[in-house]
Amino acid sequence: MKKKTSKQALKKLPKRKATKQAEDIEDVDATKAVKEILPILDSAAAAATPRKLKPKEKLHYVNSREFEEEIRAYYKTGDVSVKLGESITKIAHGLSYAPNFINYSYKDDMIGDAIVKMFSALRNKKFKLDSGFSPFSYFTTIAFHAFINRIKKEKKHHTCITEYKEKVYTDLMLNPDIVGENAHIYTEPTDDNYNSTGE
């Protein structure tokens, strides 16, 4: 490619500098420009992307080997260490951020149920140390089932309340004498011609 002077670059310069810098302004070879710009773009992109956290820096990370050693120590002594308690609570809190559990309003109840279930499994020595299974996955499964059970309980409770409201509403509609003579239940009109003034 031949190098040519750029007319657009000359137009942008002030008139007194245009004559002096006219020889310096030339179109640059495309491959040379790409080679010069790519390292700059790569460093800017690297600075813009957040740094990935190592597993030990994550907030709810539980090391499976250390967790198994804590369980082994608990089975021997019967004393729950602080690290063992933290690991169990980290498992419950970490699972609560899963996409299928994050938006429930009773998430704290779910976490509490999971912690209670995991501690009861630990106290009853349900996890077999020499089975070859990961203690992290075992206790995560317990927490998962505790979450599911809490969701079922809350849905059942919500269904009971809804049915009770509907029953009371229909009783008041059919028998207004139950509450008194002046008891009225307002229902929105379904007629399309009815406007807000009542006409």
User: Which pLDDT tens digits describe the chain residue by residue (199 residues)?
Assistant: 444 455 555 455 555 554 444 444 444 455 666 567 666 666 666 666 666 666 556 777 888 888 888 999 999 998 888 999 999 999 999 999 988 888 888 989 999 999 999 999 999 989 888 888 889 999 999 999 999 999 999 999 999 999 998 888 877 777 766 655 555 566 666 666 655 555 5
The closest alpha carbon to 97, from 110, 83, 116, belongs to 110
Q: Are residues 152 and 126 in contact, defined by beta-carbon separation less than 8 angstroms? A: no
Return the domain boundaries, the chain.
57-174
Q: Which residue pairs, CB below 8 angstroms and at least 24 apart, start in 115-121?
A: 115/88, 115/89, 116/146, 117/142, 117/143, 117/145, 117/146, 118/88, 118/91, 118/92, 118/142, 118/143, 118/146, 119/80, 119/88
Q: What is the pTM of this model?
A: 0.59
